[in-house]
Amino acid sequence: MATETVDRSFVDSLVNDIVRPAADQLLDMPYFRDLRAGTLTTRRMQGFSLQHTWFNRSLLKGGALRMLRANGNEAFMDALMGVDAEVTHPDLCKKFGLSLGLTEEDFANMIPLPEVVAHTSVIVAGPVIFSSPAVGKGGAMSDETIVQRYSLDMAEYLAKPPYNLSREALRFFTIHGVVDVDHSAAAADGVARLAKTDHDKALVRQTVEAKVKLKLANGRPSTTTTPRQGTRGPTGCRLVTRSW
């Protein structure tokens, strides 16, 4: 049986030109500089947990939608395996926030930031509305690579003083720091195999560029205050906090 020849030059160009530089830029933002300096506040970590728990649960809903719309067994099983790989992640991210003093009420009443909604929408919509299955794989490759990079830092530094968070509280990050290496590699293989035409490659590149821009948009340093939403602030007001 003939072996399919896969050209990885397109994937390599995406990783080297877009994804890795974006990961480097994210890790040089104030959130991660403060993390490494030991000055990241509890409120900012709570904001991460609130926003990313909502984000991860929304991705599961998007995966369920993909299963319903799947055209053929291969597409259905791909969506099913994607949900199975991520199904524990929302609760792990929530456990991180609960260890920081958040409550079930905080998670029930949180409001996602517009940047988080926009990023989530691109991830959910791409595999559904674009004809090329390479689009979904390209987005996954981008996300998994960046998440794996920052999860290693979060797991390392939050286990140390002055944070001293428990291993159980940090499982969201330790798991992503390991398994997303394989997830990213599998997605990259999918892009190399499925992006066969110039049109496919243009769609994938556009999606990857859009997703890293939205990922980085979450790092802009601002906090919006609003009554009875988000996490509790020191004055009794509740805060809608940034995810970075």
For 39, what's the count of Cα atoms within 13 Å in the CB-facing half-sphere?
5
> Sheet holding 231-232: strands in order across?
224-226, 238-240, 231-232
- 78 vs 94: CA distance, rounded Å: 26
Place of tokens 């990023």: 119
Q: What is the pTM of this model?
A: 0.86
Average pLDDT on 208-236 reads 59
Every domain of the chain and the residues it spans? 9-240
- 157 vs 163: CA distance, rounded Å: 8
- Do you know the residue count of the chain? 244
143-201: pLDDT as tens digits: 999 999 999 999 999 999 999 999 999 999 999 998 888 889 999 999 999 999 999 99
**Amino acid, single-letter form, for residue 7:** D
- How confident is residue 75, by pLDDT bands cut at 50, 70 and 90? confident
Place of tokens 């259905």: 76
CATH class of 9-240: mainly alpha
Question: Which stretch of 3-17, 43-57, 99-113 has the lowest confidence by average pLDDT?
Answer: 3-17
Candidate ranges 40-49, 181-190, 232-241; pick with highest mean pLDDT: 40-49
Q: How confident is the prediction for the chain on average, in pLDDT?
A: 87
